[in-house]
Amino acid sequence: MFRRSRAREVALQLLFQQDQNKTPMPRKALLVFVQQRSQRDAETVKFCLSLFDGVVLQCPAIDDLLTKTSQNWRLTRMLPADRNVLRLGVFELLHATKPEPIPVVLNEAIELARRYGSKDSPAFVNGILDKIAKERPAEVLPVAT
């Protein structure tokens, strides 16, 4: 598994844990969790923590956007895995300091939904993130290389 994919997976696990347990995990325990699951690779740990911290910081805005975009679906009705994959995807699309190309973000989110969600999760996640990607402001578009 590629480092950045692994970092996204670990970030999703942290987001899921936080979503299900309203008592925050102590930072020290969180760091141990990330380091163990990232095989202590510094780049993977750094990327994972930037994703997790970014989603947590932007969560109210992300949840508001998800609520507006996902017609007929309240956040509380979504599967927790889907909800957190979407949060991670929206953060990468709109708030990441070094945005990835849209297809990369969508593919990574779909793979996480396939691995952790239901059989319908990949299509659900793809539909919502694709709509958000098409409506995102031009200033967050990465330069094609």
Q: Quick check: is 90 in a domain?
A: yes
Predicted confidence at residue 142, as pLDDT, reads: 45
Q: What is the CATH number of the domain that holds 67?
A: 1.10.940.10
Q: Quick check: is 64 in a domain?
A: yes
pLDDT tens digits, the chain, 145 residues: what are they?
478 999 999 999 999 999 999 898 999 999 999 999 988 889 999 999 999 999 999 999 999 999 999 888 899 899 999 999 999 999 999 998 888 899 999 999 999 999 999 999 999 999 999 999 998 775 554 433 3
Q: Structural domain of residue 29, as residue ranges?
A: 3-136
- What global pTM score does this model have? 0.90
Q: Rounded to whole angstroms, how far apart are CA atoms 24 and 17?
A: 9
Q: Rounded to whole angstroms, how far apart are CA atoms 100 and 76?
A: 28
Q: Quick check: is 143 in a domain?
A: no
**Phi/psi of residue 38, each to 5°?**
-105, 10
Domain count within the chain = 1
Q: Rounded to whole angstroms, how far apart are CA atoms 80 and 112?
A: 12
Predicted confidence at residue 39, as pLDDT, reads: 85
Q: Quick check: is 144 in a domain?
A: no
Q: Quick check: is 142 in a domain?
A: no
Predicted confidence at residue 139, as pLDDT, reads: 54
Q: Which of 12, 6, 1 lies closest to 37, judged by CA?
A: 6
**Phi/psi of residue 2, each to 5°?**
-70, 155
